[in-house]
Homo-oligomer: A and B are copies of this chain.
Amino acid sequence: MCRWAAYRGEPLYLEELVTSPAHSLIEQSHCATRAKTATNGDGFGIAWYGDRPEPGRYRDILPAWSDCNLRSIARQIRSRLFLAHVRAATGGGTRRDNCHPFVHGRWCFMHNGQIGDFEHLRRPMENMLDNDLYAARTGTTDSELLFLLALQFGLGGDPLGAMAEALGFVERLAEEMERPALVRFTAAFSNGDELYAVRYASDQKAPTLYAAPMGENGGYCLVSEPLNDDNAWAEIPDGSAVVVGENGVDVLLFGAADIAVRE
């Protein structure tokens, strides 16, 4: 079970959500209280938007709590939109290419959850990709592959629609292969302008998703689990998408699209 936090709003030092001693993502990763797994020691990553359209990224395979680079970078960098992730591997070895967030052009993506029976679905999912997206795959996780599928289905044009198609494709693919279709998916992704998050599962057991206002002028923080015991954290129900943009936050119904599997 991974953990993540994402922010959009007035520029904020990353450390306030990522590495501060109390109630940050890293503190949680070291001494988990609500998550199913005891620890999140299988790597971490941050992606932040600055002056360029593409995000900067730092990720590594050490436990986040022992990485002095992360502390220094998170203390120094301020950003209006960033994503941070700590990993507890469910599949895919511990290596940088398997650490979230994944980045492709302007887009970045991170994920908590899993695809059931991924070892059998992986190859047909990879076959679905165009050559350029196939070549862009550098790791072995289901998460990176879901991101590439969403790009394949048009993430740049219709972000939530493309994500719904990617998830629907995986469910249809599993059914066609006569395997159980199980997707549990709580993810955040961004193009540098809007911050999106989705909570969805094919079995009603989606990992949690919470949102809270942060700072002034309509800033929002989205997290896989609350960072503290503050009442401000609102749980986002299963089957929802969240969009944080210029005009504040929107919560929408979200379901996997009914999409045919090309063969």
Binding site for B on A (CB under 8 A): 30-32, 38-39, 41-42, 48, 50-52, 55-63, 66, 68-69, 72-73, 75-78, 89, 93-97, 119, 122-123, 127, 131, 134-135, 138, 140
CB distance from A29 to the nearest CB of B (A): 10
Contact (Cβ within 8 A) B57 A77? no
* Candidates B39, B60, B66; contact of A38 at CB < 8 Å: B39
| A93 vs B139: C-alpha distance when bound (angstroms) | 11
* Candidates B31, B48, B72, B93; contact of A66 at CB < 8 Å: B93
Sample of 22 A–B contacts (CB below 8 Å) = A30-B38, A38-B38, A42-B63, A50-B76, A50-B78, A52-B76, A56-B72, A56-B77, A58-B58, A58-B69, A58-B73, A61-B62, A62-B62, A63-B63, A63-B94, A68-B96, A69-B96, A93-B97, A93-B138, A95-B95, A122-B135, A127-B127
User: Which residues of chain B come closer than 8 Å to A131, judged between CB atoms?
Assistant: 123
Main secondary structure of the interface of A (DSSP, over half): mixed
| A89 vs B63: C-alpha distance when bound (angstroms) | 12
User: Which residues of chain B come closer than 8 Å to A55, judged between CB atoms?
Assistant: 76
CB distance from A142 to the nearest CB of B (A): 13
| A7 vs B95: C-alpha distance when bound (angstroms) | 31
| A131 vs B95: C-alpha distance when bound (angstroms) | 23
Pairs A-B, 9 closest by C-beta atoms = A56-B76, A66-B94, A41-B41, A39-B39, A57-B72, A41-B63, A58-B69, A50-B76, A56-B72
Contact (Cβ within 8 A) B93 A75? no
Query: Contacts A57-B72, A69-B58; is A38 near B32 (CB within 8 Å)?
Result: yes
